[in-house]
Each structure stands twice: as C-alpha cells, then as structure tokens.
Amino acid sequence: MVQQADNDWLKEALSHYKAGRLDKARAVYLAMLKQQPHQVEAMQMLGIIAYQTPEYDRAINYFQQVISIKPDWPETYNNLGASFWEQGKIEQAIAAYKQAIAVKPDYPDAYKNLALALERQGKRLELRETHQQVGSPHQSGATHEKLAAMRRQEKRYREASAHYQQAISWYQKGEKDKAIALCHQVLLAHPGHSETMNLLGVCLQNTGKLAEAVSVYREAIALNPQDMSLHNNLGVILCSLGHKEQALACYEKAISINPNCADAYYNAAKIMEEQNRRKEAIAYCKKAIAIKPKAEFYNQLGIYYQGCENLAEAAKQCEQAIALKPNYPEAICNLGMILQEQGKIAEAIGQYRQALAIKPDYPGAYDKMGTALQEQGKLAEAIACHQKAIALKPDLADAYSNLGVAVQEQLKIQEAIGYYRHAVALNPDAVTAHLNLGMCSLLLQDFQQGFVEYEWRWREWTKSQTLEERLGKPLWDGSPLAGKTILLHTEQGYGDAIQFVRYAPLVAQRGAGKVILETYRALRRLLTTVSGVQEVVVKGEPLPAFDVQVPLMSLPHILGTTIETIPARIPYLYEEKDAVKYSELLRTEGEVKVGIVWASDPKGATASKRSCPVSLFLELSQIPGISLYSLQKEHTDILDGAPIQDLRELLHDFADTAAVISQLDLVISVDTAVAHLAGALGKPVWVLLPFSPDWRWLLDRSDSPWYPTMRLFRQAKLGDWPSVFAQVKAALTAHPAHPGSPGSGEL
C-alpha cells in the first residue's frame, strides 16, 4: 500500500516526468528509495527513466528488483523485455514478454513485442501462435479491436505530446497567441491533458485573459483534482483579480496535495502579510525556503521582518538573497529601505545607486532614493529622483505622493496638493497620498476636507481590521450617548494625546454615562486632571466594559470642528496640588525662568527637522536676567558644564513635567509634546518651527488657535535656525519679566 506521503512524492515526480524533467523526476524517486529501499513504484519509474535515457543495464537492474519484490506486475516484465531487446538480447526479451503474458493473458503490448522478437529470431511456429492470440488477419474479435484502439490512442497521444512541446517552444519565444492556438489543438486531440491545460492557463494569464484562464484552470482541476500546479496557478490568477481568500484556499489545497510545494507556501505568505498575519507569513516563507532556498524567497522574508520592525533580521534575509543572486536589484533596493529605516541614510543611498547600476530603468529605486535624499535635506536632488521615477513609470502613485512631500517641504503647498491628488487618481486606496492631502488641507485651514482625509490613517495602521473589529465595539459617530460608556483612546505621540484630549469634556456633554480614557503610562497621572473623564487606563492593560469607542484624533472630524470652533478653553490640564515643591529647586533671584527643549523624539520620522542645535539655546543663557532649565529627556549629556540646569532627574512622567512648568515663567521648545503641555496648562510657550511645519501650526501666523498662550517662531528658509533665534533673543529681551524690558516686574 502506498502511504499518503509516498503518494505525494510520486505525484511530484510524475509531474516532472510528464513535463520532460527527467533529472528532477529521478532525483525525487531516488530520495524516496533512500528513505524506503523497497518502494517498488519508485523503482519502476527509475527503470523507465533509465530506459529512456538510455541506460539499459541500469533499467534492467531496476526492473529485476521490482520483480523480486512484486512478481505480479506484467508491465515490469514487458519493460524488462524492451530493455533486453535494445541490447540485442532477444532470447532474454522473449522470456520476459512470455512472463508478462503469463501474468496477464490479455496484454496486447506484450503480445506485439513478443511477435516482433520471435520474428527476429525466425521462430515462425511460435510467431503464428502469437499472431493468433493478438489478432492476426486470420482472427477477428475483441482482442484485435482493443489492440487497434490502443494503437490509435497511442498515436494520438504521441501527436498531442509533440504539439504540446511545440506550444512550450512558442511560449518561451514570447509567441503567446500561437501557443494558445496549439494548446487548443492538443486538447481537441487529447482532452484533459493536464500539462497542456496548465500551459494554456499560463498563456491566457500572460495575455491578460484572466477570466478565460480561471475557467481553464477550474476545468483542468475538475479533470485532474490532484494536480498541485493547477491549484497553485489558479491561486495566482485569483489573487491578481483581488479574490485573496479564494486564492489562499487554492494555495492551501496545493500544499495539502504536495507539502513540498515551495511556490504555494511563498504565494500564501504574501496574502497573509497583506492580511496583517505577519507571523504566519514568516512561517510560510521559511517553509518555502526550507524546500527551495531561492533568492526571491529570502528577499520576501526580509520584507516581512521589516513589517514586524525587526530590521536586523530583515537586513540579514536581504543580504542572504543578494549572496545567492548578487545582481538582484529588488533585494538590493529593499536592503536600502531597511538601512534608511535604521537611520543609515548614506548607506541606503549607496544601495539604491547599486540597484540602479544593475537596472537603470528601475523606477522604485529612483523613488526610494528620492526619499533618502530628502532626509538629507537635498530637496532638488530628491525631486529629480521622483521625477525620473515618474518618467519611467507614469502610473507609479507612490512617486507622485513622495514628490508631493518634497515640494511641500519647499512650502509649495498647492503644487504638493496637485501631486497628492494625482496619486489618489492613480490609486484611490493610496493611504499616504490621502493623508498628505488631508494635512495640506489642514495647513490651509480647510478643516472639513482635511479631517475627512485624515481618517485614512487607520487604513494603514489597522490593515485588515477595522477599528470596530480591533476593539470589538462600534465606533462613535457623534450621536447622543444616552448614558452609554464611551472609550476614548490615544494614538500616535504624546503631543497628539495632549492636544486632542481637550475634546473629552465635549464628549461627556453628549450624554455619556461614563468616559474612559486609554492612554500611555507616561500620561496617565496627568490626564486624570481632564474634566469629564471618570477613569484613565494604560494601554496594554485590560479594558473595563464600554459600549462605544473613538480615537481622540477623530473627534475634530466627528464633531465638525472648524478653525473658528476649536475648543480652546485654557487651561484644560492641571498640575498636581503639590507642584509648588518644585519651586525650591528652581533659582528665583528675580530672573526670567525659561524651560527649554531643543530636540524631539529621535525615533520620530521628522525628528531631524524638528530639532535644533543646543548651542543656539546656550546663546540665550548669555542674556542677562535669563535662567534656563532643561526639560529635555534625551541628549542631556551635552549639558555638562553648560549654564543650564538639567531637570531630567525630576521628570518621571508628564505630571512631573507639568509641575515643573507651573513654576516657570516661559517655555521655549521645538515642536514637541512639552510645547503642547505648556499650551494646555495655559503657560506662555514659544514654539520654534521648521520652514515646512506640521499641519496643526498652519501657515503665516505667529499665534495658534489651539493654544491662546502660544507664540510661533518660524524659519524663514529651510534649516535656518539662526534667524529663528535672532527673533527669540529680541523677544526675550522685551519679555515683561526681563529686568531690562519696559514692563519689567510685570508678567
């Protein structure tokens, strides 16, 4: 009895054999024999392959081994006789043919072969007897007709196989239409010929006739349900048509038929990754590699690890792909993307250039190199790269979106909007383009359109799940809550949470029975001071029961916020009652006490442009009557010996930072969460902005509708922090609390 695992191997080997891949078929059969030395099916086929090669001694050896184990197979005797015949050993051939007939008296091929051998040896008497049995001119009947029918069928099969091989030749030469026509001829002569139907499906797919290809594959599967390649190829087409679940089912079926189908594992992994099932995708891709260690598989595995933010492992897999296939531009480009994400911008650009040296017409590499050059502040070069990508591939939506980002950095907002809209026209599901379009609209104070587009952020972050599916409760739409419990959850950075928690009281006013706020641990104590919030929980901890939920940053859209209706009742956050204790740690001496922050979170995508040299703040310390206090959590080692008091040891969370700010006269910060905190506390705060600011700071104004106590200082040109500090110095000198100002002594 052939076990299921053996059966799978036999089917794989037979598939190779039928396609003419004799070496691959032989390898599979030999592997089977290594594990099971008495596997007669493998022996039989190895004998047949040896006969066809031709290696007649080896063929004879295999057939004799089969007979010793399974002496009741007439085909083996017939094959043995054919091998002896080819060697000129006619007597041994005659003996083998007679044994085949003895086992199976109604065996036309054996009778035919025996007749030829007897004639060769001149054994006329025996020849006449044989003719009588196989259907000589003197005998009519079923045996004669059966033999004739078999001969006709054999001829048709030979003709079909010849046409099939010619069809493959046309396909390989790129003559797809000729291959399709020939495939149809083969199927007319030999309906259900699995290999031909498979080839026909591939040709139809490559000529864009996907619906026809699907029909061919389904018909082929109905006739050959255990053909693994048919299921896999059908899955590829269904996937290209967007039927991902059906495609995944096809790949799983192919794997169930043949667990060694590397391509099916690889194809299934790609769908799993799209469904945000990255752990499963990684496992399947590893299985594909274990079966067939292809460079393409390693490259794809690197992409999956990158999606899991395991950049070190991602780089390792891409490097393995390149080691297997040195001139592999896609893997080289992917390695560049990983290096870029690791902050190794110069190395990333080197990889992109290497990919382009191999493949000069590679639009993706130009586009990615443009994003890297932009991070270096080389906007002109970045724009040229994006434009080159578009010239090579005019429908590359990402290139238009990235080009929009580059010109937006030049504050060419209308031009950027045009590129974003073009990207969306090419790909209506282009998440980044929608988001960028939304942020440009918000910059221009078009809150209605801006906040609609801003909702696209969830398409990227939740992938296959909606917010409702992720938290198991419906999303609040702004309707009266009628006593329901609502969960508000923070997203993105600390500053975003601080800015938009102002909406919590408005939610409570909609009739909420209870408002729960889920936030980061560093914000928990601070946000317990928010009006209307009854309970604050930390992200990652079990959630209490609730009826509806909403992200904080979706509230401006849900509540229809305009520039005129921003909730700006300040303060809406408060320091703890014992905050006065921090005053003992701050020098008072009649000076203006200024808290400073010069760098944003280094992990942020825009950290470099939102950070400035601390040396410029050190210049402020030279102004008489000014005392500086660092509210910075990172990079404070550079303060050693500087005339700035480092308060880092006091700042365990944002409640501590709020307590310290309450004892200061002024906060001066780049665009960070501390700036939002000072504004929410109602403290005077000056925010230092890059040339192209974040959307919330709008354009061409020195105040903020979000924070009435805030003053904005903007770069006049890209990277021009010195001019910003020139303005700050002048403003500090004129500060009401500064000893030399006209309003000295008053705040």
pLDDT tens digits along 583-638: 666 655 668 899 999 988 766 667 678 889 888 998 998 888 899 999 998 766 66
User: Is residue 131 within a helix (H) or strand (E), and if so which, with residue range?
Assistant: helix 124-134
Helix axes 262-274, 244-257, angle to 10 degrees: 150
Strand partners, 593: 627
- Distance in angstroms (rounded) separating the CA atoms of residues 644 and 592: 13
Indicate whether 301 pLDDT > 60: yes
Average pLDDT estimate for 143-160:
55
* pLDDT-derived band at 126, boundaries 50, 70, 90: low
Nearest Cα neighbor of 516 from 540, 547, 472, 492 is 547
Say what the pLDDT of residue 583 is.
60
Q: Is the pLDDT of residue 464 over 50?
A: no
For the segment 429-458, what is each residue's pLDDT rounded down to a tens digit?
999 999 999 999 999 999 999 999 999 988
Q: In sequence order, what are the beta bridge partners of 596?
A: 630, 668
Distance CA 332, CA 350 (A): 10
Per the listing, tokens 């902050």 go with 343
Q: How many CA atoms lie within 13 A of 260 on its CB side?
A: 12
Q: What is the pLDDT of residues 515-538, one digit of tens each?
A: 999 999 999 999 999 999 999 999
Residues 6+ apart with CB under 8 A from 624: 739, 740
Angle, CA 15 vertex, CA 12 and CA 20 arms, to 5°: 130
* Confidence bin at 137 (pLDDT 50/70/90): very low
Q: Which residue has the higher pLDDT, 466 or 336?
A: 336
Q: Binning pLDDT at 50, 70 and 90, where does residue 149 land?
A: low
What band does 745 get if pLDDT is binned at 50, 70 and 90? very low
E-strand ranges in 134-267 read none
CA 624/CA 644 separation, integer angstroms = 14
Nearest to 635 by CA among 615, 655, 664: 615
Residue 438 tokens read as 């939304």
* Contact residues for 111 (Cβ-Cβ < 8 A; gap 6+): 97, 101, 130, 133, 134, 147
Beta strands 626-630 and 535-538: pairing type?
unpaired
- DSSP letter at 475? B
Q: Are 684 and 664 in contact (CB under 8 A)?
A: no
Residue 610 per-residue DSSP state: T
From the number of C-beta atoms within 10 Å of its C-beta (0-12, 13-18, 19+), residue 508 rates as buried
pLDDT at 90 over 90: no
107 or 544, which is more confident? Answer: 544
What tokens appear for 232 in the block? 């896999």
pLDDT at residue 466 tops 70: no
The pLDDT confidence band at residue 5, using thresholds 50, 70 and 90, is: very low
CA dist 136 and 145 (Å) reads 11
| Beta-carbon count within 10 A of 349 CB | 22
Can you tell me the mean pLDDT for 147-172? 67
Residue 737: phi, psi to the nearest 5?
Answer: -90, -5
Average pLDDT along the chain = 86
Average pLDDT over residues 393-403: 97
Least confident of 139-143, 309-313, 643-647: 139-143
For Cα atoms 57, 61, 66, give the angle at the middle one, nearest 5 degrees: 150
Confidence at 461, pLDDT banded by 50, 70, 90:
low
Which H/E stretch holds residue 655?
helix 654-661
In this predicted structure, what is the pLDDT of residue 182?
Answer: 83
State the pLDDT at residue 597. Answer: 95
Q: What are phi and psi of 191, to 5 degrees?
A: -55, 140
Contacting residues for 35 by C-beta, under 8 A, at least 6 apart: none
- Rg (Cα) of the chain, in Å, rounded? 38
Position 57 pLDDT exceeds 80: yes
pLDDT at residue number 39: 85
The answer to whether 543 and 481 have CB atoms below 8 angstroms apart is no
Q: What is the pLDDT of residue 465?
A: 52
Query: Mean pLDDT throughout 102-110?
Result: 81
Does residue 349 or residue 643 have the better pLDDT? 349
Task: Work out the burial of residue 232: count CB atoms within 10 Å of its CB; fewer than 13 is exposed, 13-18 middle, 19 or more buried.
Answer: buried
Residue 138: per-residue pLDDT: 39
Report yes or no: 100 and 78 within 8 Å, Cβ to Cβ: yes
Name the residue type at position 609: K
- CA-CA distances (angstroms) from residue 169 to 157, 201, 217, 226? 18, 16, 21, 26
Work out the angle at residue 554's Cα, subtended by the Cα atoms of residues 551 and 556, and round it to the nearest 5 degrees: 135
**CA 177 – CA 204 distance, rounded (Å):** 9
Flag whether pLDDT at 255 surpasses 50. Answer: yes
More confidently predicted of 242 and 681 = 681
CA of residue 222 relative to chain centroid, distance: 33
486-502: average pLDDT:
94
In terms of DSSP H, where are the helices of 308-446? 311-324, 329-341, 345-358, 363-375, 379-392, 397-409, 413-426, 431-443
Stated as kind and residue range, the H or E segment containing 121 is helix 108-121
Q: What is the pLDDT of residue 360?
A: 97
Angstrom distance (rounded) from CA 371 to CA 308: 21
By CB atoms closer than 10 A (0-12, 13-18, 19+), residue 33 is: middle
Least confident of 12-26, 152-166, 358-372, 410-424: 152-166
Tokens 């050693």 correspond to 640
What domains does the chain contain, in order, with CATH numbers? 212-443 (1.25.40.10), 467-558 (3.40.50), 579-733 (3.40.50.2000)
| Cα dihedral sign, 740-741-742-746 | negative
Lowest mean pLDDT among 48-62, 334-348, 386-400: 48-62
pLDDT for 394? 97
Q: At what angle do helices 397-409 and 431-443 cross, to 10 degrees?
A: 30
Residue listed under structure tokens 């906060």: 667
Q: Is residue 152 pLDDT above 70, yes or no?
A: no
Query: Per the confidence metrics, is the pTM higher than 0.85?
Result: no
- CA angle, 239 as apex, 238 and 240 as ends, to 5°? 90
Question: Residues 666-720: pLDDT tens digits?
Answer: 999 999 999 999 999 999 999 999 999 999 999 999 999 999 999 999 999 988 9
CA distance 389 to 166: 39
